[in-house]
């Protein structure tokens, strides 16, 4: 197993006017996010083959657990099943567990019925800054790998979206290709050392769905996530700095009207140059989070294309490692 470089000790924000400012602004974002179920189409019910169970996953901290939804077959013959762990987007601050139901359903329909999908939570800033979130992501994978009775340890994959995409890449490379069969990531941040106002778009056009992340929003998220700006260069944050050999097969995708486009592309290019199996999908005319509220038929088709590519990448990894 590749040893994690994630710092174990979490330095909290000191009580100050700056921390209160962050708390206030993030609280406003969280309040506005409560309206998301009202404006987003209701996802289809979970496939009839599966049930969703709320579980509490042990963490490295005594008496603290990590919430997760386990989507598992209602009946199987006691065999250890392949499992995909997914982490939601959040800007590292928003409570968004469960918002990837459409993706979960897609995986079950395309790869099922004999699979498990775990939609896992993680701690949020500014209350819990870096490295609380990557610590939680690693703890979730450690738990999965400790249960060979339930989960096939040769067929464990991980993925995520936005902040969760960053965590998936961090956790996958922490355990390495010996333990993780593949990783998928949609519009992740991979390099926190790039100033928010220096990020460029691949295509300077109006996105059909989603948005370019405005610099002020990225700054708020980053200020909430990092107490010590020196942590931005830590490889458990700026995963672009990790040794390519620590990555399993990696699929990254991002919209051309997303300020994180080149984060995604540069990571995939770096891995490919080092001989690591990797792929980058460029999504035309789409912004950040486009798949969460598709405004056009073209956006729906692009979401279907990307989700299917992710599912196929996962299936290929599982097939390769199956006895």
Q: Would you tell me how many other CB atoms lie within 10 Å of the CB of residue 255?
A: 34
**In this structure, are strands 151-161 and 81-87 parallel, antiparallel, or unpaired?**
parallel
For the chain, helix (H) and strand (E) counts, in that order, are 8, 8
% of the chain exceeding 70 in pLDDT: 97
State the SS3 of 127-194: CCCCCHHHHHHHHHHHHHHCCCCCEEEEEEEEEEECHHHHHHHHHHHHHCCCCCCEEEEECCCCCCCC
Model confidence over 192-227: pLDDT tens digits? 999 999 999 998 899 999 999 999 999 999 999 999
- Whole-angstrom distance, CA of residue 41 vs CA of residue 39: 7
Q: Which residues pair with 220 in a beta bridge?
A: none
Would you say residue 3 has pLDDT above 60?
A: no
Structure tokens, 300: 């729906």
Would you say residue 1 has pLDDT above 80?
A: no
| Through-space distance between the first and last CA atoms of the chain, rounded to whole angstroms | 21
- CB within 8 A of 189, min separation 6: which ones? 162, 163, 165, 166, 260, 263
Model confidence over 122-181: pLDDT tens digits? 999 999 999 999 999 999 999 999 999 999 999 999 999 999 999 999 999 999 999 999
- Model pTM? 0.95
Model confidence over 120-129: pLDDT tens digits? 999 999 999 9
What domains lie within the chain, and their CATH numbers?
17-321 (3.40.50.1820)
């Amino acid at each position: 197993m590749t040893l994690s470089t994630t710092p174990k000790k979490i330095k909290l924000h000191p009580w100050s006017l700056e921390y209160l400012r962050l708390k206030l602004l993030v609280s406003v974002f969280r309040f506005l996010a409560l309206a998301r179920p009202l404006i987003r189409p209701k996802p289809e019910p979970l496939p009839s083959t599966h049930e969703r169970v709320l579980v509490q996953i042990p963490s490295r901290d005594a008496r603290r657990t990590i919430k997760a939804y386990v989507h598992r077959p209602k009946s199987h013959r006691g065999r250890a099943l392949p499992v995909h762990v997914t982490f939601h987007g959040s800007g590292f601050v928003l409570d968004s567990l469960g918002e990837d139901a459409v993706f979960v359903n897609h995986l079950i329909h395309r790869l099922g019925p004999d699979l498990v999908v775990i939609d896992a939570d993680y701690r949020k800033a500014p209350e819990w800054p870096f490295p609380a979130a990557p610590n939680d992501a690693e703890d979730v994978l450690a738990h999965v790998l400790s249960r060979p009775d339930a989960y096939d340890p040769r067929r464990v994959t991980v993925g995520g979206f936005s902040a969760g995409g960053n965590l998936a890449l961090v956790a996958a490379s922490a355990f390495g290709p010996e333990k993780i069969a593949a990783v998928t990531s949609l519009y992740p941040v991979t390099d926190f050392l790039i100033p928010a106002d220096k990020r460029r778009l691949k295509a300077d056009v109006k996105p059909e769905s989603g948005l370019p992340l405005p610099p002020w929003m990225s700054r708020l998220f980053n200020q909430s996530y990092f107490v010590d700006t020196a942590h931005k260069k830590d490889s458990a944050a700026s995963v672009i700095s990790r040794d390519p050999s620590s990555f399993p097969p990696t699929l990254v995708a991002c919209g051309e009207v997303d300020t994180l486009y080149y984060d995604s592309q540069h990571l995939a290019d770096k891995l490919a140059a080092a001989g690591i199996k990797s792929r980058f999908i460029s999504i035309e005319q789409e912004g950040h989070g486009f798949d969460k509220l598709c405004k056009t038929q073209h956006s729906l088709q692009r979401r279907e294309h990307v989700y299917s590519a992710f599912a196929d990448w996962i299936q290929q990894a599982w097939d390769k490692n199956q006895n």
